């Protein structure tokens, strides 16, 4: 994947248009700020945190059971996996709330 070159702004342009620059950065654009023809700063979009197990568990904990039975399918799949390790019992306690 090729990354786009950052837009170059003078410090004055960046200062005068700071809110717009931040809005554009929030939508994925990067900027290099120059002063006296020398790069002095970069404004880049925030990095998304990588997905992890804790994020999945948090999502599932907030998930309301659906009328089409998809939750039941997930619970059946978890049951088919067997008993979780002892250390996982507390983290997976949310499953009991759906039964």
| 34 & 59 share domain | no
| 60 & 78 share domain | yes
pLDDT score for 50: 67
Is position 18 within any domain? yes
Q: How far apart are CA 18 and CA 2, in angstroms?
A: 26
Q: How far apart are CA 2 and CA 6, in angstroms?
A: 12
Is position 48 within any domain? no
Q: How far apart are CA 3 and CA 73, in angstroms?
A: 41
pLDDT score for 94: 61
| 59 & 80 share domain | yes
| 38 & 57 share domain | no
Q: Which domain holds residue 90?
A: 53-97
Is position 2 within any domain? no
Q: Examine the pLDDT at 98 and tell me if it is beyond 60.
A: no
- The answer to whether 21 and 9 are in contact (CB under 8 A) is yes
Report the predicted TM-score, pTM, of the whole model to 2 decimal places: 0.47
pLDDT score for 69: 73
Q: How far apart are CA 21 and CA 10, in angstroms?
A: 12
pLDDT score for 31: 95
- C-alpha 59, offset from chain centre: 12
| 32 & 58 share domain | no
């Amino acid at each position: 994947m090729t990354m786009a070159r950052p837009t170059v702004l003078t410090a004055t342009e960046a200062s005068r248009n700071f809110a717009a620059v931040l809005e554009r950065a929030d939508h994925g654009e990067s900027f290099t700020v120059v002063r006296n023809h020398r790069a002095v700063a970069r404004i880049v979009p925030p990095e998304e945190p990588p997905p992890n197990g804790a994020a999945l568990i948090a999502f599932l904990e907030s998930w309301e059971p659906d009328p089409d039975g998809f939750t039941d399918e997930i619970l059946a799949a978890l049951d088919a996996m067997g008993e979780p390790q002892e250390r996982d019992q507390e983290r997976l306690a949310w499953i009991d709330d759906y039964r």
